[in-house]
Amino acid sequence: AQSVTQPDIHITVSEGASLELRCNYSYGATPYLFWYVQSPGQGLQLLLKYFSGDTLVQGIKGFEAEFKRSQSSFNLRKPSVHWSDAAEYFCAVVLGGDYKLSFGAGTTVTVRA
């Protein structure tokens, strides 16, 4: 079955430490890949996207993600987190020519001082 999996429900990280959020997908073809962030009570903000080309993608707010076809993964990273990075992060995919985004269940990130 087609699915998007975010294995980590909740991650706690110290301010200034690095962060990595995992995302795996299960689709017959390589989909287009996205990471969104949602602050409490807010809508979704697009962090970055991958359609094709360079497998290391740079996004806003210092985030980057790496696409690995062999592992069907699109993990999100940030070298040094800030307290303002505390939020919920969603990985999402869409198949080319399709119209709907399919989301993972999300990973909640807590940043401790």
Partner 1 sequence: DAGVTQSPTHLIKTRGQQVTLRCSPKSGHDTVSWYQQALGQGPQFIFQYYEEEERQRGNFPDRFSGHQFPNYSSELNVNALLLGDSALYLCASSLHPGTSAQETQYFGPGTRLLVL
Q: From the list 11, 24, 30, 32, which residue makes contact with partner 1 (rule: CB under 8 A)?
A: 32
Please count the other Cβ atoms lying within 10 Å of the Cβ belonging to residue 111.
Answer: 19
25, 35, 36, 63: which one contacts partner 1 (CB under 8 A)? 36
Residue 28 contacts partner 1 per CB under 8 A: no
Which contacts of 46-54 are long-range, i.e. CB under 8 A and separated by 24 or more positions?
47/76, 47/89, 48/76, 50/74
Residues of this chain that interact with partner 1 (CB under 8 A) are 32, 34, 36, 41-46, 49, 51, 90, 92, 94, 96-106
